[in-house]
Amino acid sequence: MLIDPFVVIAQIINFLILVALLKRFLYKPITQAMEARSQRIERQLATAAEKEKDAEVEKELYLQKQQELASQKQAWLEQTKQEVEQEKEKLTQQAQAEVNQARSQWYANLEQDRQKFTCELRDRLSQQVAITTRKALSDLANANLETQIIETFIDRLYNLDELQKNTINTAPVPNPRHIINICSSFTIPEEKKERVITAIREQIAANAEVQFEIVTDFICGIELRDRGYKISWNLEHYLTELETATAKILTENNNQVA
């Protein structure tokens, strides 16, 4: 078989032209496209890696925040629990203080009422003793007792101490007439009146005018009234002493019971 050199050369030239054309219009664009795609993929991978890294950072921050919130939650719970306990203790103490105060006030009121009742009972008992004694003495009063009262009173006039005499003598007379009143719970016989007048003029004032009057407030008693000063003998004094002594005894017994 004969080989035509021209044909061979032409085919070689055509092949070279084809290769050049393929390289120029096909291989180079494909290569550039593949390079561009490769670079784009690398960029996407780099972006994805960056995002994955950021996601890891965010994840770590989230986990850290979650731990912090858990710790803070526990701390808040502990603090709230302590505050609740403190408030509970405070309210308990306040309630206990109020209860103690109310109880103390109740005891104080009870003690006050008891003392008031005791005082009223004591006063009523002592008054009743005095009233009963007054009634008994009034029923027992007679002429002999009245005579003895007058004699005792006259004897008292004759036995005034210096202080009594000075008090009476130095008191000013309110008017030109020096009037001395003798008050009694009974009628004094004339002869006894004369003795009383004589004792007054000898012991108190020689020029005194003596007036006698009946006073129903006395219990078997007689009293001299002169310029605001009094000299008396009256069973009322003894009854007052009896009432005071009775009240004192009741008070002492009440204190011993308390």
Give the pair of three-digit tokens for residue 251: 């008070």
Q: How many domains does the chain have?
A: 1
CA distance linking residue 251 with residue 245, whole number of Å: 10
Q: Does residue 15 or residue 191 have the better pLDDT?
A: 191
In a domain, residue 190? The reply is: yes
pLDDT digits (tens, 9 = 90+) for 239-251: 666 666 666 666 6
In a domain, residue 220? The reply is: yes
Structural domain for 219, as ranges: 143-234
* Residue 143 clears pLDDT 90, i.e. is over it: no
Report residue 194's pLDDT band, with 50, 70 and 90 as the boundaries: very high
**Residue 175 near residue 202, CB atoms below 8 Å:** no
DSSP H or E run through 184:
strand 179-184
Task: Flag whether the pTM goes above 0.85.
Answer: no
* Residue 252 clears pLDDT 80, i.e. is over it: no
What CATH number is associated with residue 160?
3.30.1330
In a domain, residue 149? The reply is: yes
In a domain, residue 178? The reply is: yes
In a domain, residue 67? The reply is: no
Taking alpha carbons only, the member of 65, 232, 63, 35 closest to residue 150 is 232
* pLDDT number for residue 148: 83
What mean pLDDT, rounded, does the chain reach?
77
DSSP H or E run through 134:
helix 28-140
CA distance linking residue 147 with residue 200, whole number of Å: 18
* pLDDT number for residue 104: 84
* Residue 196 clears pLDDT 80, i.e. is over it: yes
In a domain, residue 188? The reply is: yes
In a domain, residue 160? The reply is: yes
pLDDT digits (tens, 9 = 90+) for 39-73: 888 888 888 888 888 888 888 888 888 888 887 88
In a domain, residue 99? The reply is: no
**Residue 127 near residue 243, CB atoms below 8 Å:** yes
Distances from the Cα of 168 to the Cα of 96, 182, 219, angstroms: 67, 15, 25
Evaluate the CA torsion angle 244, 249, 250, 254 in order and state its sign. positive
Kindly report the number of other CB atoms within 10 A of residue 178's CB atom: 16
pLDDT digits (tens, 9 = 90+) for 114-125: 777 666 665 565
- The percent of residues in the chain predicted with pLDDT above 90, rounded, is 4
